Amino acid sequence: MDKFINHLEKRIINGENVSGLRKRQKRIVFCVGASPVTPDVEKSLAQNFNEPKLKQVNVFYCPGGLNYEKMSVSSRLMMRMFVKMIKAKKDKSATEEEMAKVMSSSYDISDKKYTEPILKCLRG
């Protein structure tokens, strides 16, 4: 696959803007997160790239999951507090109900199919 790669940049988006993109022929940013692909995820990705940058990079999102067993104590605590906050909320939306249920334990929604668009871009 190396012959197809001009440049591959992996960035972790954790509520921060992606910056520091260098000039290359082909730029790919792929993000892995705990959420399935939803309009909210797409909106969040779009907010991390202004319009000129979106024209310069190919952005992909790959759902992953949560593994509480591999998290640090502080990350586990933060996630548990977040889940409790969602569960305690009155008038939760169906999305919030599902989020609280799913995030209560470890899960893996990763699938190799999410890498296909990235590979296609690299070959293209």
d(CA 21, CA 28): 10
Mean pLDDT value across residues 102-107: 92
What pLDDT is attached to residue 22?
Answer: 54
CA distances in angstroms from 62 to 29, 37, 45, 85, 107, listed in the order given: 11, 8, 12, 26, 14
- pTM of model > 0.85: no
d(CA 27, CA 122): 9
Given a cut of 80, whether residue 120 has pLDDT beyond it is: yes
What pLDDT is attached to residue 6?
Answer: 35
Top pLDDT among 19 and 95 is at 95
Q: What is the mean pLDDT of the chain?
A: 78
What pLDDT is attached to residue 84?
Answer: 94
What pLDDT is attached to residue 10?
Answer: 42
